[in-house]
Amino acid sequence: MTTALSSYLSSIRDNLRLDPLSEREVINELETHIEDELQELKEAGLSEEEAANTCVRLLGSAKLVARQIYEAHSQGTWRQALLASMPHLLFGLIFALNWWRGGSWLLIMLVLILGTVVYGWWRGKPSWLFSWLGYSLVPVAVAGLLLLYLPIGWSWLAILLYIPLALWLLYSITVQTTKRDWIYSSLMLLPVPIIISWFIAVGLEGRFPEFSIERLYNYAPPIGLSFLILAATVVTFIRLRKRWLRVAILILSGLITMTLVAGYAWSRLGLPTFSVLVLLMLSIFLIPALLEPKIRHGAP
């Protein structure tokens, strides 16, 4: 295949953003179609270079072709949508039904999440994996917040040791996810600012584990509702075809859930804290989108 056609296919591959298996199938089908078209043009009397240039003109813009292929193949099944929404749904039920009080359900959820993440990661990172992957990062964020409850001397030591490790882990996972598609990085990180917001709303005074258990009990229904909103968001996300609609539903969901937190806990959050959390949520969309060209260009 000529250099022009190889470059054309590489451009389509760079803009495709499908899972590896679907991408290979699509590219193989496209290569077969191009080779057939190239052979017909050469038999019509064109040179190989002329035939290649004609193929490129007939196919059209590589970005447009990639977008059309993406919209034709990106829609997940209802089974995939349900599987992707499951961690949000389970956390929503745990808080809505007050199953969190015993602690055993949260431990079961953590084991289930870690097992599902390992399975999905080694199965080629299917689209349903990334909502589960986000919850595997929650213990990292919560552990960082709980460092505040250590004695002052130990707290600073733990923070200095813990924060670099946590940031390295978050960076590594986000980079690997962004190589696939920055939208999945946003989907993965979506619950993090919501969980941090509720953690702050419950209260940081006192010492763990005595602090604010009664307040957590009072906030459990809206906490459960926020997770159920995220579950509905993921179902819609997986079933949508167009990228701009996927981005829009993620941003809308983030704003709705943050508004829900503010509505129930404004007196505890305050405008400065709420503003920081909103900026954190928006950075979930902006930073992966801005970094994706560099990350994908440098991907092996």
Q: Which residues of the chain have pLDDT under 70?
A: 1-2, 102-103, 141-142, 145-146, 148-155, 157-158, 203-214, 296-300
Q: Are 181 and 16 in contact (CB under 8 A)?
A: no
pLDDT at position 207 is 47
Amino acid present at 3: T
Q: Tell whether omega for the bond before 293 is within 30 degrees of 0, i.e. cis.
A: no
Backbone torsions φ then ψ of 75, nearest 5 degrees: -65, 125
pLDDT at position 209 is 44
263: CB partners within 8 A, 6+ apart: 222
Place of tokens 């859930």: 257
pLDDT tens, 168-227? 888 888 888 888 889 999 999 888 888 888 877 876 544 444 455 667 778 888 999 999
pTM for the model stands at 0.81
Q: Which long-range contacts (CB under 8 A, 24 or more apart) does 160-165 make?
A: none
Domain boundaries, the chain: 3-72, 77-297
